[in-house]
Copies of this chain bind each other. A is one copy, B any other.
Amino acid sequence: MPHIPVPTNLPGIRGLVAFRPEMGRALYDLAEALLVGDSPLSRAERELIAAYVSSRNHCTFCTESHAAASRHLFGAKAGIVDEVLGGDACATPGEKLTSLLAIAGKVQQGGLEVTEADIEQARRAGANDQEIHDTVLVAAAFCMFNRYVDGLASWTPTDPALYAEMGRRMAEQGYAGRLQQILDAR
């Protein structure tokens, strides 16, 4: 049961932002800038970094929803998502994405864990400054979203079909207009 009285029909972060829309608006705007806005990383890759960090933080709601969004965006290559989340991050995503996921994993542990060697490895694999920046910030942001969702014990659905539908909507509609839809659905 959530630690605070949120609308019972809204899972995960959706119940929380309905409880506190002024802060929720800033959170959804940030998600839009990080996951949908311009970046040399594809939207599928950024959603995968989000899901990967969330899985390492054991945040089921964020892992399942962002994994579903990433699968939708990867399309025919959706298998990458399950390979990465299955723990074999060195498998098939390609050398550059693998090195960026390694940086994201360090960020999940703590910012000071990221070493010059981690950055060098990503550069050798072809990552540029913006890709490194965006990887660190997306990974850092999900250390926030995960703690928000689980720190208030928000409702975590278990039905995989619900996450597939959520991921499809996140992939197709992004995050900018979400808050109003959530408030309307209360």
Contact = CB atoms under 8 A, between A and B. Distances in A.
Interface in A106-162: 106-107, 110-112, 114, 116, 119, 129-130, 132-134, 136-137, 139-141, 143-153
Q: State the number of copies, please.
A: 2
A184 interface: no
Contacts of A74: none
Contact of A148 (B37, B111, B119, B146): B111
Contacts of A97: none
Interface residues of A, number: 51
A25 interface: yes
A26 interface: yes
A145 B147 CA distance: 13
B136 A152 contact: yes
B33 A26 contact: yes
Interface in A1-57: 3-5, 16, 19-20, 22-23, 25-27, 29-30, 32-34, 37-38, 57
SS of A interface (majority): helix
A10 to B, nearest CB: 14
Contacts of A110: 57-58, 146-147, 150
Contacts of A146: 110-111, 140
A171 interface: no
A81 interface: no
A129 B4 contact: yes
Given A3-B119, A25-B33, A130-B20, A136 B148 contact: yes
Interface of A: 3-5, 16, 19-20, 22-23, 25-27, 29-30, 32-34, 37-38, 57-59, 103, 106-107, 110-112, 114, 116, 119, 129-130, 132-134, 136-137, 139-141, 143-153
Leading 3 A-B pairs by shortest Cβ distance: A111-B150, A144-B144, A140-B147
